[in-house]
Structures are given as structure tokens and as C-alpha cells.
Amino acid sequence: MSYLEIKNLQKKFIVHGEPLEVLKGIDLDVNQGEIYGIIGFSGAGKSTLARCINRLESSDAGSIMVGGVDILSLDKKALLQERRKIGMVFQNFNLFDSRTVYRNIAYPLEISDFPKDQIKERVLETAKLVGLSDKLDAYPGGLSGGQKQRVGIARALVNKPELLISDEATSALDPQTTIQILDLLKEINRKSGITILMITHELDAIRYSCNRMAVLEEGTIIEQGSVAGIFNNPKSRTGALFARVFEEFQNISLTEGAGI
């Protein structure tokens, strides 16, 4: 059953008076409870696509259905309500430096009509889920990148959303931390059945986490299907390029690398 359904999504920006087509008719089907990967080089339109889904960016044409709700037809108030059901995690974490970890995680509850006397319980539960129970009084400024992203994930999850958009969530992290964060996302997905849209330029992240993926190139989805299928038999240039880059990295031995 598809949870996120995007049809013919189009988006133009005006850059220096010239229209620039960033999304040229995106069609996407993400099933309920899966981790779906979208890969593309910089400038392919990945982030724009992510931001169109919760209407941080307006779109010019097409339709977006999230859990049966037509996102593009919502009025302002309904949109705010709907955004609370779509969690978003960012590359730069975008935490609130003025708030402790606890209050960062509590923020989404504070601003919604969540019962006040249940906030603490929910925050503690979410903090435990992401492994931050001992950092609740710390400020984001004193945390490592991995810890910051855990706060970001907790903040996105505390409302118990049904869809989590991860916009390059691991791109600013070192490989070891990346694995930890991906493991966390997989665990959350397994436990709660949340649908995750993982947008990234990192091949490994998608190989590690997703079953299905799409390749985005210059505003078009040029290939979609199972991760294994695209890796082993890429039909598109970007897909082939990613697969080749991956292989080349695998083939470089340490001694060869040192000679360059």
C-alpha cells in the first residue's frame, strides 16, 4: 500500500530573471513502512523535492498525497496540523541552541495541543529511543555531530509522525557515526513502522538501509526500483556512475591509494 504518492510534481525557480526547472514532473510511490532511498548528485533537485512534500517549498504543478491527504490542497491551518505528522531531519541538524536537549525534543509538543502533563513522559520515552537519556540537560552546542543528529531525530519523532523525511541526515557525519544513525533509523522503522524517505548523495547509506530507491537526475526520476537491481544493472547514467564510483572505491587498496 502506498503511503506517499507523488504525481507529476513540477517546480520552477526564477534565477536571475530566467526560469530554472528544478523538478520536471516527479512520479514517486513510497509504500507504508518502508525506507525508500532517493539518490542524486548535488543540484539534482533532491532537497527541493523533500521540501515540497511538507510545503516548505511551493510547487507549480502535480499532486502529493501523504497517507491519503492531498498536501497541496490544504489551507494554512490544516497544513500546520499536517506538518506535525511529517517529521524532517536535516543535514545541519538545525537544532535550537537556546534550548537544552530536553526542550529541543519537547518543542513540537509545546507548540501543538499535546496535553502538557504528558510532555515529560513522551520526551523521556523518545530520548531513550534515540539513546540520549543522559544528555537531556546538555545544550546542543556541547554535543558531537552524532548526538546532535540524534536530537534532531528525536525532535522529528516526538509527535509520532507517520512519515520521516531525512534530507541528507548523515552527510555531515563521519562514517562510523553514519552507520550508528542509519542503524537508529532502521530500528525506529522496524519498531514503529514509520515510513522513511531517505534523501542522500551517499550510496552506502541507501545500500545499507533501503530496499527500494529512485535515482534523481536534473529534476527527473530516471530510474527506480529495488536497490540491488539498480546497483547490479543500472539503466541510467547517474545510476551507472554511482555504481562505478562505488566499485572503484572498493577496488582501491590502501597501498595504491597512498601512491596517488
| Interface residues toward another protein, by CB under 8 A | 51, 54, 56, 80-84, 86-88, 90, 92, 94-99, 107-108, 110-112, 138-142, 155-156, 159
In terms of CB distance, is 108 or 234 closer to another protein? 108
Q: Quick one: cell of 129?
A: 529511543
Q: What is the DSSP string of 173-214?
A: S-HHHHHHHHHHHHHHHHHH--EEEEEES-HHHHHHH-SEEE
Shortest approach of another protein to residue 139 CB, angstroms? 5
Q: How many residues does the chain have?
A: 260
By C-beta, is 80 or 245 nearer to another protein? Answer: 80
Burial of 176 (C-beta count, 10 Å sphere; 0-12/13-18/19+): exposed
Laid out side by side, the sheet with 195-200 consists of: 86-90, 163-167, 195-200, 35-39, 212-217, 220-226
As measured in angstroms, the least distance from the Cβ of 81 to another protein is 7
Cβ-based nearer residue to another protein, 41 or 139? 139
Closest CB 190 distance from another protein, rounded Å: 24
CA distance 93 to 61: 30
Q: Which is nearer to another protein, 54 or 189 (CB)?
A: 54
The kind and range of the H/E element at 101 are: helix 101-111
Least distance in angstroms from the C-beta of 98 to another protein: 4
How far is it, in rounded angstroms, from Cα 121 to Cα 100?
16
Query: Which C-beta is closer to another protein: that of 152 or that of 234?
Result: 152
- Judged by beta carbon, residue 142 or residue 175, the one nearer another protein is 142
Position 88, amino acid: M
In whole angstroms, give the CA distance from residue 250 to residue 260: 16
Q: How far is the CB of 113 from another protein (least distance, A)?
A: 11
Q: What is the closest distance, in whole angstroms, from the C-beta atom of residue 173 to another protein in the complex?
A: 16
Question: Angle CA(184)–CA(190)–CA(194) in degrees, nearest 5?
Answer: 90
